[in-house]
């Protein structure tokens, strides 16, 4: 195949993969032909993996939020799907910042104090 | 090109179980997740294993070779640098896409088994191969959902990939089992269709059944059914190596040793 054919194949594939990730990561419409129930299973699996990583990277935030951690994270995640090239640590920091901005988490100074105490 | 020499039975090295991996008997080789290593700052434990002569194989999770975008050469370069730092004979990643449309799924997503997807994957793999110092092996992933318009079976898709790129295959029997449970893949047909002479090595991992879905968690025990798929594979070919992956909810050393012994028993059974 020539370069032009490859470029066209890349474009068609990009459209399909983007549509699927939008459905899975930011509650976009279900792409044609997919089983909606399975899409929901995949959506929950991806969310659960991301939530687990953020909990592991920011245990103090998760502890402070307690039972609110999960619903808050899930709301944050749909609003802020991870950008390509971003790091998991940035995701954890951005979630903490989002919680502070909405008053769900105390000011950063206290979080740092807790970090020092735990070390 | 010759395959890698006999590797034996191994385990995925993770910082959380570094001491376990060091002291467990019967660890013939290890894998490291390439993205977690920094060139010039290898973990002490990995250096120790290298000094003992234990082969260390870099395994990547972020190349997104099945993604629509051309492969990111910075990521390929890092993988190659890790391979050189640990003197690895081979590196690996997955037949999957991770990123699309500016988003990161955070996971290994299945690609549609269409001509378009295969053409793009082949182009990306060739570009990666041209920029790597050692051969590349590609692994089948576990899928929770199926793309609607697959033109090829998973085995046919991988066979085409090997035919067109001369890559090696890393067969994950737990992923194969997961696909059999979740999307109706036939493991025997899969093993019939892939070129077993291009088998680099095999992955085994644990998981959990939730309702009608099997989750490939790498955080639970290896199911006997997964060892049965390994058994089926070993009845067709002697795998150059078999590696256990455990990524979370780490059990005791004894439990890990038992799982490694169970894997070795299956492999040895067929070596007579």
Contacts of B117 in chain A (CB under 8 A): 13
- pLDDT category, B62, cuts 50, 70, 90? very high
pLDDT in tens, A81-94: 999 999 999 999 99
Provide mean pLDDT across the span B248-254: 94
Mean pLDDT of B23-36: 96
Which H/E stretch holds residue B32? strand B29-33
Q: Which band of pLDDT confidence, cut at 50, 70 and 90, is reported for residue B2?
A: very low
Q: Which two tokens stand for residue B8?
A: 């034996």
Cα B44 from Cα B270, distance rounded (Å): 36
CA triple B169-B173-B177, angle to 5 deg: 130
**A9/B67 touch (CB, cutoff 8 Å), yes or no:** no
Q: Which residues pair with B210 in a beta bridge?
A: B213
CATH 3.20.20.150 fits B8-271, yes or no: yes
Contact map slice: A 8-37 vs B, CB within 8 A: 9-14, 16-18, 20-22, 24-26, 32-35
Q: Which residue of A lies nearest to B115 if distances are taken between CA atoms?
A: A9
Tell me the pLDDT band of A108, cut-offs 50, 70 and 90: low
Can you give the three-state secondary structure of A6-50, one letter per residue?
A: HHHHHHHHHHHHHHHHHHHHCCCCCCCCCCHHHHHHHHHHHHHHH
| Chain B residue with minimum CA distance to A81 | B103
pTM of the model: 0.94
Residue B218 is encoded by which pair of tokens?
Answer: 């790498």
The partner residue sitting opposite A46, judged by closest CB among B105, B111, B112, is: B105
Phi, psi (5° rounding) for residue A35?
A: -75, 115
Domain extent listing, chain B: 8-271
Which residue segment(s) compose the domain that A84 sits in?
3-117
Q: What are phi and psi of A87, to 5 degrees?
A: -105, 155
Cα→Cα distances A19→A12, A30, A57, A78, B119, Å: 11, 8, 29, 15, 20
Rounded Cα–Cα distance for residues B12 and B256 (Å): 11
Please count the other Cβ atoms lying within 10 Å of the Cβ belonging to residue B25.
Answer: 7
Q: What per-residue confidence (pLDDT) applies to B271?
A: 85
Per-residue pLDDT reduced to its tens digit, A56-83: 999 999 999 999 999 999 999 999 999 9
Q: Is B1 on the interface with A (CB under 8 A)?
A: no
* The total number of structural domains that make up chain A: 1
């Amino acid at each position: 195949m020539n370069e032009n054919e490859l470029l066209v194949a890349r474009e068609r594939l990009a459209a399909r993969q983007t549509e699927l990730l939008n459905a899975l990561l930011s509650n976009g419409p279900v792409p044609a032909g997919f089983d909606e129930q399975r899409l929901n299973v995949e959506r929950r699996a991806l969310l659960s993996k991301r939530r687990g990583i953020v909990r592991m990277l920011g245990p103090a935030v998760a502890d402070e939020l307690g039972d609110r951690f999960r619903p808050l994270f899930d709301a944050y995640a749909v609003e802020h799907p991870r950008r390509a090239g971003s790091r998991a640590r940035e995701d954890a920091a951005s979630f903490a910042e989002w919680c502070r901005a909405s008053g769900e988490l105390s000011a950063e100074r206290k979080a740092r104090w807790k970090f020092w105490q735990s070390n | 090109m010759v395959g890698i020499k006999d590797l034996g039975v191994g385990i995925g090295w993770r910082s959380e179980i570094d001491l376990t991996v060091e002291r467990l008997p019967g660890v013939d080789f290890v894998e490291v997740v390439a993205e977690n290593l920094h060139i010039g700052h290898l973990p002490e434990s990995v250096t120790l294993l290298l000094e003992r002569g234990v082969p260390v194989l870099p395994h990547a999770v972020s190349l997104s070779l099945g993604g629509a975008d051309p492969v990111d050469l910075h990521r390929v370069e890092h993988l190659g640098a890790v391979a050189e730092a640990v003197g690895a004979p081979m590196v690996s990643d997955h037949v999957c896409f991770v990123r699309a449309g500016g988003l990161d799924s955070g996971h290994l997503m299945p690609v549609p088994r269409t001509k378009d997807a295969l053409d793009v994957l082949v182009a990306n793999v060739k570009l990666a191969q041209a920029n790597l110092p050692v051969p590349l092996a590609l692994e089948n992933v576990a899928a929770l959902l199926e793309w609607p318009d697959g033109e090829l079976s998973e085995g046919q898709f991988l066979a085409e990939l090997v035919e067109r790129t001369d890559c090696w295959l890393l067969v994950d029997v737990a992923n194969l089992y997961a696909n059999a449970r979740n999307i109706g893949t036939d493991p025997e047909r899969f093993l019939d269709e892939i070129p077993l002479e291009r088998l680099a090595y095999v992955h085994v991992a644990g998981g959990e059944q939730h309702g009608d879905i099997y989750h490939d968690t790498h955080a639970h025990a290896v199911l006997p059914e997964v060892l049965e798929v390994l058994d089926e594979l070993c009845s067709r070919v002697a795998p150059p190596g078999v590696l256990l992956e455990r990524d979370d909810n780490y059990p005791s050393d004894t439990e890990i040793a038992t799982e490694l012994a169970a894997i070795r028993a299956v492999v040895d059974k067929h070596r007579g």
